Every structure is written in C-alpha cells, then in structure tokens.
Amino acid sequence: MASANRAAAVSSIVKALIGASLVFALPGQAQDSSAASKKCVEFGFQPNTSQHAECVRQWLLASGAAKAPNKPTPSASRPPPPAPLPTNADSGPMPAVIKDCADCPEMVVIPAGSFEMGSYENSWEQPVHRVNVPSFLIGKTEVTQGQWKAVLGRNPSYFRSCGDDCPVERVSWNDAQDFARRLSQKAGKQYRLPSAAEWEYAARAGSNTKWSFGDNESQLGEYAWFASNSQHSIQPVAQKRPNAFGLFDMHGNVWEWVQDCWHDNYSGAPTDGSAWTKGDCSYRVIRGGAFNGKPTDLRSADLYSHAPHIRYFYSSGFRLARTLLSP
C-alpha cells in the first residue's frame, strides 16, 4: 500500500512538472523518448527506476508523442486541438504555479538551465562565472504579511497598515528560517530560502542585462518599487510587471534573504546552483533592493550582507524556494 501511495504521489507531481516543462520547451524540440528521459533526469528522477519510467510516460503523453491507453478516439472525428497555454503580454507562456496548502505561497516551477552569475560592477560580484542550476520552485511573490501571520501568528512588520498583501518586513535571516521550518511542518513540504545562485537565475529570467527587462533605467518603474516611485513605503506584492519567469518584485519592494554566507568575491563559489555555506557565516547574503533603494541596488547581480539576527529596519523580507521531488 505504501509503494502504491508513493507511486500515485510521484505521478501527480510528475504531471505538474511536465506541464511546466512543456511551457519552456524549445520550439521544434523533438518530443521523443530520448528527450523525455533527459528531461526527467533534470527533474531528479534517476534512470532505470519506476519513477523515471512513469515520468517518461507522462512526458510523452503530455507532449502528444504517445497516446493514452484505453481512451480510443472515434474514427469518424478528429480530437479537439489542445487548449492554448495561458500567456501574458510581457513574456509569452506563463509558467506553471504550484500551491501546496491554503496558507502556502504560490510557487513557480523554474526550468533547469545555466547562466553567467555576477557582474563587473563591483569587486564582490566577480569573477563572473557560469552556474548550472537544476529545476526548482520559487515563490511567485515575496512572503506576505498575511502568509506570515497564518503560520506564526504575529506580524513583525513596520508597515502593518499596508495590509496582508504587502510583503512581511523587518525580519531577520533567522526569522525567515523559522518561518520556513514551521510552514514545512504545516504543509508536509520542505521549504527553504533560495540559494544566491537560484535567486539570481530566477531574477535574470534568461537575461544578461542589469535588470531582467534590459539596461534601460527609465523602464525600472514598470517592474519595481524603489525610491523614485514607492512614496517611502512598501507596496502590495504583484502590482508591477513580472519578469519572464512570471515572478513579481524580484527588483525592489523589500530586500530578500538567501541561504548563502557572505564572501568578499566569487572565487571558489559553487557552480551547481547550491548555496555557498562554507567559511565565515557570521553574515548572510541579501538580494534585490528595496522600496527605499536606488536603481543600482535593484540590479539582478547586486548583493549585500547582514548578520543573520539583524532585522534590517523595515526593508528586509524574503521569498521561499523548494527543491523538486527526488525519489
């Protein structure tokens, strides 16, 4: 019975991931068993396992390369065309979103890929180096005050009058860890902070420019809350345009804690997308800029640090990540 339940759970999650992956499939990509097998390995399903075989089967069914058994189509009529994927005007097909429980944040499936991490703007953003990032989940928005209260029952925010849809702020790295642990217990899923590499990969969303939309600072106000347009306050999440991965407020609103320890530069940094937790961890990394920041603070590559117990006045928040199921 336990193995049957596990197989059903794997099948359910595979179907959600397949739907997300098809959104990101390259035009003209061959939807054959070899491509399906490769994609399932990216998801973390080991070859020559029953879970990998189920993943391949679901991929082929979803992509149209195989037909579902026991569901014959009447010969006299053609099957209806598949429904179009939901889109937004900014970035094309919208990625799949997973919500594990009523109080859980919406999590976006981020496809596996590689990118150039860092920049030449500051010494601590160098050397620019290539990082390979496995597929993972990350919060569609920053964790909100409403979500925080539902899990921990208190609201540490300075801008409480902003409301439940505003990001929680005035939280430390330690506070974010506590929230992730408590939500994991509640939802039965392993939530965590993203690594710095995962965060930057998600923020860039395929770009290699200062901001996810390009290098034109005059467009920043369309995507971000910062000193020039925030009226000296945080703002409700998801009011600006999302990036190409469907993520909101990766630039501005509140700074976002990530898992990594601070280092003076990227020499020796991991290249597999994992968090850099070796060395002196008396300071942790914070990303993304805030409502009271200048445009350069909001660059995709920008990063600063604070002690993990520091509640950085009223501009520090976070968003959660989650590793995809690995059987």
Q: What is the pLDDT of residue 21?
A: 45
Say if residue 260's pLDDT is above 90: yes
Residue 225 phi, psi (nearest 5): -100, 125
Say if residue 209's pLDDT is above 70: yes
Q: What is the pLDDT of residue 311?
A: 86
Say if residue 67's pLDDT is above 50: no
Q: Which residues of 188-202 are buried (b: 16+ CB within 10 A; e: fewer)?
A: ebebbbbbbbbbbbb
Side chain identity, residue 305: S
- In angstroms, the CA 181 to CA 198 distance is 19
Q: 22-39: per-residue pLDDT in tens? A: 434 433 343 467 777 777
Cis peptide before 127 (omega within 30 of 0): yes
Q: How far is CA 13 from CA 19, 80, 89, 108, 283, in A?
A: 10, 26, 28, 14, 36
Q: Binning pLDDT at 50, 70 and 90, where does residue 280 land?
A: confident
Task: Answer with the residue of higher pLDDT: 13 or 137.
Answer: 137
Q: What is the pLDDT of residue 53?
A: 72
Instruction: Enumerate residues 6+ apart whose C-beta is below 8 A from 203.
Output: 212, 243, 247, 250, 251, 287, 288, 300
Q: What is the pLDDT of residue 96?
A: 85
DSSP, res 304:
E
Residue 281 phi, psi (nearest 5): -105, 25
Query: Are the C-beta atoms of residues 303 and 285 closer than 8 Å to each other?
Result: yes
Side chain identity, residue 308: P
Q: State the Cα torsion 179-259-229-239 to the nearest 10°.
A: -60
Q: Binning pLDDT at 50, 70 and 90, where does residue 312 land?
A: low
Tell me the DSSP string of 2-70. Answer: HHHHHHHHHHHHHHHHHHHHHHHPPTT---SHHHHHHHHHHHTPPTTSHHHHHHHHHHHHHHTSSPPTT
Exposed / middle / buried, residue 267 (Cβ in 10 Å: 0-12, 13-18, 19+): exposed
In the chain, % of residues over pLDDT 90: 67
Q: Binning pLDDT at 50, 70 and 90, where does residue 62 land?
A: low
Task: Answer with the residue of higher pLDDT: 96 or 199.
Answer: 199
Say if residue 70's pLDDT is above 50: no
Q: What is the pLDDT of residue 54?
A: 67
Q: What is the pLDDT of residue 86?
A: 38
Task: Answer with the residue of higher pLDDT: 45 or 254.
Answer: 254
Question: What length does the chain have?
Answer: 327
Q: 100-110: per-residue pLDDT in tens? A: 999 999 999 99
Q: Which of 1-15, 74-88, 122-136, 167-181 has the lowest mean pLDDT?
A: 74-88
Q: What is the pLDDT of residue 223?
A: 98
Q: 166-202: per-residue pLDDT in tens? A: 999 999 999 999 999 999 999 999 999 999 999 999 9
Long-range contacts at 61-68 (CB < 8 A, ≥ 24 apart):
62/15, 62/18, 62/19, 62/22, 63/18, 63/22, 63/25, 63/31, 63/36, 64/31, 65/31, 65/32, 65/33, 65/36
| Tally of CB atoms within 10 A around 264 | 8
Using DSSP, state whether 175 is helix, strand or coil.
Answer: helix
Q: Which of 55-59, 205-209, 239-243 has the lowest mean pLDDT?
A: 55-59
Say if residue 69's pLDDT is above 60: no
Q: What is the pLDDT of residue 292?
A: 96
Q: What is the pLDDT of residue 179?
A: 98
- In angstroms, the CA 159 to CA 152 distance is 17
Q: What is the pLDDT of residue 73?
A: 34
Average pLDDT, the chain: 83
